[in-house]
Amino acid sequence: MQCIVNRRAKFSASHRYWLPEISESENLEKFSACSKYPGHGHNYVLFVSMAGKLNEYGMVLNLSDVKHIIKKEITSQLDFSYLNNVWSEFEETLPTTENIARVIWQRLAPHLPLVRVRLFESSELWTDYMGNSMESYLTISTHFSAAHRLASPLLNDEKNAEIYGKCSRPHGHGHNYHLEVTVKGEIDERTGMIVDLGTLHQVIENYVVELFDHTFLNKDILFFTQVVPTAENIALHISNLLQQPIQELGIQLYKVKLIESPNNSCEIYCDQPVLRGVQL
C-alpha cells in the first residue's frame, strides 16, 4: 500500500534580496524593503513529504532516521544563518522562499523518497516544490469580512429555508473569510522568484479584498444578485476574477481556497476551464 508521510522541521535564518550587478536604486525598485542592508529574518517552517509502501513494521520510513537526515543536511546548516552566504546555490540564485525549497529538495533527494517540500516563510506566505525543474507553487493567504444570505431569487422563502436552513434567514449572517491564492510559475534563475511578490499582493488586494471586504455579498456584488453566494460560488467567482490579471504577470493561477469557518472550506483548482457560479 502506497502512503505519504510528512515530517516537520524549523529553522530561523536571515536573507537579503540584492543583486550586485545592478545599482542600489535598481535593487530598491526591484526588491523594495527586502533589499535593505544587512537583511531581514524569518522563522521558517519546513514540511518534507515522502512516499512509499508500508513495511512489515507498519511504517513507510523510520521517522527518527528522517529527523536526523533533515537535521544533518538542512536545519543544522540553515538555522541561525545568513542564507545568502550559507550555500553556494544562493550565490547564483537568491534565497527566496521558492528557491530555498528547491535547493532543500536537491539536498534531500539522494537520501529520501520525496514527493513535496513545503516551506512556510510566514503564516501568510509559503511555497511548494515537487521536484519539477524550476517549477514552483507560491501561496498567499489573506482575509476579508463579509455577510451573505443563502437564498435563490428564483425560490420562495419556504423553499430556500428547506434547502439552506438558518443560512436563508432574511437579514443574512457574516464570516471572517480566509483566502489562500496559489500560483504556479518558473523560478527565475537569478532572482529566485516566480513573480514579484508585491505586485501579486496588489492584484489580490485590488481584484478581491477591496471588492469583497465589509460587504453584503448578495447586494453589493453584482454577480451575487443572481447567484447564491455559497462558499463554493464565492471561490469560483474569485478564481474567475483573478485568472486574467494573474496570467498577465506571467504566471498561472493554480488554486483558490476559501475558508468560511474552521468547519467549512472549499478549493477550486484553476487549471480547468473558466466556470460559472451555480444558482441552485
Residue 212 has pLDDT above 60, yes or no: yes
Which of 126, 157, 191 marks a domain boundary?
A: 126
What residues are labeled active site? 167, 214, 260
Its domain, for residue 225, covers 132-280
b vs e for 66-81, b when ≥16 Cβ sit within 10 Å of the residue's Cβ? Answer: beebbeebbbeebeeb
* Alpha-carbon 183 to chain mean position: 7
Picking from 200, 262, 205, 209, the residue whose alpha carbon sits closest to that of residue 234 is: 209
Q: How many domains does the chain have?
A: 2
Give the C-alpha separation, 134 to 186, whole Å: 5
Domain co-membership, 87 together with 168: no
The CATH number covering residue 18 comes to 3.30.479.10
Give the C-alpha separation, 133 to 136, whole Å: 9
Residue 146 has pLDDT above 50, yes or no: yes
Domain co-membership, 89 together with 165: no
Residue 56: per-residue pLDDT: 86
Which of 103, 126, 149 marks a domain boundary?
A: 126
The x, y and z cell numbers of residue 10, run together, are 524549523
Domain co-membership, 90 together with 189: no
Residue 273 has pLDDT above 70, yes or no: no
b vs e for 181-197, b when ≥16 Cβ sit within 10 Å of the residue's Cβ? Answer: bbbbbbbbeebbbbbeb
Domain co-membership, 152 together with 59: no
Domain co-membership, 50 together with 158: no
Q: pLDDT grade, residue 280 (50/70/90)? A: very low
Domain co-membership, 225 together with 256: yes
Domain co-membership, 138 together with 119: no
Residue 187 has pLDDT above 80, yes or no: yes
Domain co-membership, 117 together with 179: no
Domain co-membership, 20 together with 43: yes
Residue 2: per-residue pLDDT: 84
71-92: pLDDT as tens digits: 999 999 999 999 999 999 999 9
Mean pLDDT for all residues in the chain: 95
Domain co-membership, 108 together with 221: no
Contact by Cβ (8 Å): 7, 48: yes
Q: What is the mean pLDDT of residues 186-199?
A: 97
Residue 180: per-residue pLDDT: 98
- The enclosing H or E element of 214 equals none
Residue 163 has pLDDT above 70, yes or no: yes
What residue type is 205 in one-letter code?
A: E
Domain co-membership, 88 together with 190: no
Residue 279 has pLDDT above 50, yes or no: no
Domain co-membership, 174 together with 119: no
Which of 93, 109, 126 marks a domain boundary?
A: 126
Calculate what percentage of the chain has a pLDDT beyond 90: 93
Find residue 13's DSSP bridge partners: 42, 81
